[in-house]
Amino acid sequence: MSIIFQESTRTFRLNAKNTTYMFKILDDEGFMAHAYWGKKLSDTDASYIVRRIPSPSVMERERATILDTMPQEFPSEDVGDFREAAFGLLDSEGHEGCSLLYDSHAIYPGKPALSGLPATFGSEKDCETLELTLKDPVLGIKAILLYTVFEDLDVIARSVRIVNEGKAPVRLTRVLSASVDFDREDLDMVSLWGGWARENNAQRVPIQHGIQKVESARGESSNTYHPFMALMAHDATDDFGEVYGFNFVYSGNFIAETQKEQHGYIRALMGINPQHFGWKLVPGDSFQAPEVILVHSSEGLSGMTRTYHDLYRQHLVRGKYAHALRPVLINNWEATYFDFNTEKLLEIASLAAKQGIELFVMDDGWFGSRRSDNAGLGDWYVCEDVLPGGLKPLADGINALGMKFGLWIEPEMVNEDSDLYRAHPDWAIQIPGRKHSRKRNQLVLDFSRKEVVDYIYGMIHKVLSSTNVEYVKWDMNRTLTNLGSYALDADRQQELSHRYVLGVYDMQNRLTTDFPQILLENCSSGGARFDPGMLYYSPQIWTSDNTDAIARLKIQAGTALMYPLSTIDANISIVPNHQTGRITPFTTRGDVAMCGTFGYQLDITKLTEEELSLIPKQVENYHRFNPLVTTGDYYRLHDIFTQDSWDSWMIVAKDRSEALVTYVQILAQGGDMIFPKVRLKGLEADSFYRIEGTDTVVSGQLLMQSGLQIDLKRGDYVSASVHLIREA
C-alpha cells in the first residue's frame, strides 16, 4: 500500500518509489498541517515532523498568528494566513473568509478521471488515490483534494474539486490545484521563458523573500512562460541533489509561484491564474480544477526529467500512436506558404515518396477564401480554386504514391472576412462597443458556447469524413483578449477563459474519439500551447516555428526538461533558414530533428542532388533509432542554463544495451584540439560498448569518467551522431 492513514496520530503518508509526502490532521477542529515532501521515510507518524507550533484551536488568543505561520495543506484566504493562498471566495454577503477543515477521507486503488479535463491515468495496479474532503463549517463549501501516488515513479498527482453544499451561491475567486509548504529556505526556482520562435529557455534563480511567479493570462498556456517550475536545492545539479517539479495539466491561464515568508520558509503554489478568473458556484454545483504533477528527484534535475518522461509516455499520451512509430512527414508550410495548388502539392509529394517520406501534410490555405492570413478562417470547406474537385483527388493522389495524407486546421479562430463571421458576428469573443484587438487579423471564437463548438466541429467532421485523412495539425495562432461572451451573464463573464479551454478539450475529445485513426498534432504559433493538457489529446506537438537547427538546440532542450522526445515535433527545413537566415549543414539539421518526431518542412523539389541523396538514409536512421529515442532515458550532456559553443545529449536504452549520442558544435574554436570529448552518462560502468561503424570498444566506465571522443569536421554548426552498442 502506498497510502497509509495512521489513525492514532491522524497522519497521512503517501509513499511513491523513492518519495514520501506527509501531512496530518492537527487538532479536533480539523486543521490540515503539511509535514514533509522528500526522500522516502519509513515513519508513519508526522507529529514530530510538523513544524513545531501550537494548533490554532489550542491557542485561540493567537489563532491568526498561528495560521500565518503553520505549514498548511490547502491554505485559504482571510482567516489569518496572509501568505499566498490556494483558495479564495466571496460569499453571498460579500465576505471573503473561508476555513477548510478535515471532514472525511477515502483511499482506493486506481485513479479517477477528472470531468471534462485531461489528466494522467493509471490502473489499479499502477497507482492509489487518497480523496481528502475538507469543509468550511459556515458556508458548507467542500474541497475534495485528490492525491494519486504512482508507485513505480516518484510522482504524486494533485487536484481539487470544490462543491457548494451550502444554501447560497458563492463566487470562487481563487482555486489553485496544489500548495506545498517547505520547511526549507535553500531553494532555487527553475522556470521556462520565451516568445514566438524562441520558446522554452531555462532559467534558475534563488528564491528570495517576497513572491516569485511565472504565469499566463493569455488564454493559452503560452510561449512567454511555461506551466512548470522546479525547485532545486542550492547544492543540486543536473545529476545530484534534491529537486521538486511542478507541471500543470492545463492549456489555459496559470500561475506557478513561490513565496518566501517571514521566517524564511518557502510556499510553492500552482493552479489556474486568478487573473481573468471568477466562478459562480450555486448550491449543488461543483468546480473541478485541473491537476498538478508533483515529481520529487534526489538525482538532480535530470532525475526529474526522466520521471516526467516516463510518466507522460505511460500515463498521459493516448491513442493509436502513443507507442507506435510515427510516419515521417513532409509539410508544405515553409515550402509554399499560401501559394499552392493540387499540382504543386503532388509534385512535392511524389519526390518525397521516392525518398521514403511517409506522410504528406497540407498546411494553411486550402479552405474558404484563405489566400492569405487576412481571410477565410471559420469557413471549413475546400476552396475549389486551390484544389479543383475538392480534397479527394489530392488525397487519392497522395495515397497512390504510398503516402498518408494529412491537413491543417485552426478551428478556434475566425476572420471578419469570412462567411462564418458575416453570419454570426456574436460568436467571436469581444466586449460590445470596444474595438477588436486583432492579432494576425483574426478573432477568437467563443468556444465557451456549445453551439459554436458544435457548429465548427460539424464542418470539420464533414471534411475529415470526405476522404482518407490520417493526420491533423490543429493550430491556434492568437492570444485571448477583450474577454467578453455574448452568452454569459454579467456575473459569469469571468468564467469565459476557463470555459473556453473546456470547449477546446471537448472538441479535441470528440475529434480523437470519432477519428481514432488520425494522428493529431497540436500547435500554437509553434509552441505556445505545448503543455500536458494538449498531450492528453495529441501525442505530438509542433515545438516552434523556428526550424533553425541551432536555435532548436535550446528550444528542444527546454521542452525536453519534462516532455518526452516522442512528443517534440522537429523538422528539417531549407537554408538560409526562414526564421534566422542561418546556413547549417543538412546533416546537422537531420541530427537535431532525429531527437524529436522527425520530418521535413521544405520544398523538396528545390534541394540539391546531394541533399536529396541524404534523405533515404535519414529516413532509414529514423526507423532504426526512433524506438530508442522514444523509449530510452534522456541525459543532457551540457548544462541547460548555459549558452556555449557546443551542445550535446544522449539517449540510453532502458536496459542499457545501446545509446545514441548527439553532439553539435555551434561555433568552431581555434587551436589544435579540434576533436571534442564529452563525458557520457547512464551507461553500465562495467560493460563494454562498441562505437558503431568502428572497431573501437570502450568500457562504460571510461566513457562516463573520461569521455567519448567526437570526430567532427572543422567548421561552425557541424554535428556528430554516435551509436553505442553494448558488447555481449
Tell me the catalytic residues: 475, 545
Q: Is the peptide bond before 137 cis (omega within 30 degrees of 0)?
A: no
First-to-last CA distance in the chain? 39
Which of 201, 355, 477, 597 binds ligand DGJ (CB under 6 A)? It is 477
Angle, vertex CA 523, rays to CA 245 and CA 543, nearest 5? 55
Short-list 441, 426, 330, 346, CA closest to 386? 346
Q: What is the closest distance, in whole angstroms, from the C-beta atom of residue 342 to ligand DGJ in the complex? A: 19
- Give the helix/strand (H/E) hosting 309: helix 300-315
- Joined grid coordinates for residue 254: 496559470
- Report the residue number whose CB is nearest to ligand DGJ: 364
Residue list 292-351, contact with ligand DGJ (CB under 6 A): 333
Q: Which is nearer to ligand DGJ, 477 or 540 (CB)?
A: 477
Q: Is residue 523 close enough to count as binding ligand DGJ by CB under 6 A?
A: yes
- Joined grid coordinates for residue 436: 477588436
Q: Is residue 600 close enough to count as binding ligand DGJ by CB under 6 A?
A: no
Residue list 383-442, contact with ligand DGJ (CB under 6 A): 408
Q: Which stretch binds ligand DGJ (CB under 6 A): 161-169, 521-529, 606-614, 686-694?
A: 521-529
Q: What is the closest distance, in whole angstroms, from the C-beta atom of residue 441 to ligand DGJ in the complex? A: 12
Q: What is the closest distance, in whole angstroms, from the C-beta atom of residue 339 to ligand DGJ in the complex? A: 13
Q: Which long-range contacts (CB under 8 A, 24 or more apart) does 635-642 make?
A: 635/302, 635/680, 635/681, 635/682, 636/238, 636/302, 636/305, 636/557, 637/661, 637/663, 637/678, 637/679, 637/680, 637/681, 639/238, 640/202, 640/238, 640/301, 640/557, 640/558, 640/561, 641/202, 641/203, 641/204
- Joined grid coordinates for residue 139: 458556508
Q: Is residue 542 close enough to count as binding ligand DGJ by CB under 6 A?
A: yes
Q: Is residue 376 close enough to count as binding ligand DGJ by CB under 6 A?
A: no
Q: What is the closest distance, in whole angstroms, from the C-beta atom of residue 334 to ligand DGJ in the complex? A: 8
Q: What is the closest distance, in whole angstroms, from the C-beta atom of residue 408 to ligand DGJ in the complex? A: 6
Site string for ligand DGJ, 356-375 (x = CB under 6 A): -------xx-----------
Q: Which is nearer to ligand DGJ, 304 or 413 (CB)?
A: 413
Q: What is the closest distance, in whole angstroms, from the C-beta atom of residue 528 to ligand DGJ in the complex? A: 9
Q: Is residue 526 close enough to count as binding ligand DGJ by CB under 6 A?
A: yes
Q: Which is nearer to ligand DGJ, 526 or 533 (CB)?
A: 526
* Strand ranges (E), 383-465: 404-409, 413-414, 443-444
Q: Which is nearer to ligand DGJ, 573 or 584 (CB)?
A: 573
Short-list 625, 342, 315, 599, CA closest to 471? 599
Residue list 552-591, contact with ligand DGJ (CB under 6 A): none
Residue list 97-126, contact with ligand DGJ (CB under 6 A): none
Report CA-CA distances (Å) from 361 to 457, 508, 520: 20, 19, 12
State how far the Cα of 90 lies from the Cα of 171, in Å rounded to an integer. 5
Q: Which stretch binds ligand DGJ (CB under 6 A): 124-132, 519-527, 628-636, 702-710?
A: 519-527
Q: What is the closest distance, in whole angstroms, from the C-beta atom of residue 186 to ligand DGJ in the complex? A: 40
Burial class of residue 705 (count of CB atoms within 10 Å of its CB; 0-12, 13-18, 19+): exposed
Q: Is residue 476 close enough to count as binding ligand DGJ by CB under 6 A?
A: no
Q: Which stretch binds ligand DGJ (CB under 6 A): 205-213, 455-463, 523-531, 714-722?
A: 523-531
Site string for ligand DGJ, 59-88 (x = CB under 6 A): ------------------------------
Q: Is residue 540 close enough to count as binding ligand DGJ by CB under 6 A?
A: no
Q: Is residue 223 close enough to count as binding ligand DGJ by CB under 6 A?
A: no
Q: Which stretch binds ligand DGJ (CB under 6 A): 84-92, 352-360, 385-393, 518-526?
A: 518-526
698 Cβ contact partners less than 8 Å away, ≥ 6 residues apart: 688, 689, 691, 708
Q: What is the closest distance, in whole angstroms, from the C-beta atom of residue 475 to ligand DGJ in the complex? A: 5
Q: Which is nearer to ligand DGJ, 386 or 678 (CB)?
A: 386
Q: Which is nearer to ligand DGJ, 477 or 508 (CB)?
A: 477
Q: Residue 490, SS3?
A: helix
Q: What is the closest distance, in whole angstroms, from the C-beta atom of residue 532 to ligand DGJ in the complex? A: 20
Q: What is the closest distance, in whole angstroms, from the C-beta atom of residue 547 to ligand DGJ in the complex? A: 9
Q: What is the closest distance, in whole angstroms, from the C-beta atom of residue 188 to ligand DGJ in the complex? A: 32
- Joined grid coordinates for residue 161: 474539486
Q: What is the closest distance, in whole angstroms, from the C-beta atom of residue 145 to ligand DGJ in the complex? A: 37
Short-list 39, 105, 41, 31, CA closest to 72? 31
Q: Which is nearer to ligand DGJ, 316 or 407 (CB)?
A: 407
Which of 545, 611, 633, 647 binds ligand DGJ (CB under 6 A)? It is 545
Q: Is residue 525 close enough to count as binding ligand DGJ by CB under 6 A?
A: yes
718 Cβ contact partners less than 8 Å away, ≥ 6 residues apart: 585, 587, 588, 664, 665, 668, 712
Report CA-CA distances (Å) from 55 to 9, 25, 51, 262, 661: 14, 10, 11, 19, 55
Q: Which stretch binds ligand DGJ (CB under 6 A): 374-382, 522-530, 656-664, 714-722?
A: 522-530
332 Cβ contact partners less than 8 Å away, ≥ 6 residues apart: 340, 345, 348, 360, 361, 362, 363, 601, 603
Region label for 439, one of left (φ > 0), alpha (ψ between -120 and 50) or beta (otherwise): beta
Cα dihedral sign, 199-248-428-337: positive
- Joined grid coordinates for residue 361: 501534410
Give the single-character DSSP code of 449.
S
Q: Which is nearer to ligand DGJ, 363 or 591 (CB)?
A: 363
Q: Which is nearer to ligand DGJ, 69 or 331 (CB)?
A: 331
Q: Which is nearer to ligand DGJ, 181 or 475 (CB)?
A: 475
Q: List 408's β-bridge partners, or say none.
A: 473
In DSSP notation, 41-58 reads ------TTTS-S---TTT
Cα dihedral sign, 215-217-218-221: positive
Report CA-CA distances (Å) from 579 to 382, 441, 507, 550, 575: 29, 21, 32, 11, 10
Q: Which is nearer to ligand DGJ, 372 or 493 (CB)?
A: 372
Q: Residue 391, SS3?
A: helix
Number of residues that bind ligand DGJ (CB under 6 A): 11
Q: Which stretch binds ligand DGJ (CB under 6 A): 265-273, 520-528, 591-599, 637-645?
A: 520-528
Q: Which is nearer to ligand DGJ, 257 or 475 (CB)?
A: 475
**Which residues are at the interface with ligand DGJ (CB under 6 A)?**
333, 363-364, 408, 475, 477, 523, 525-526, 542, 545
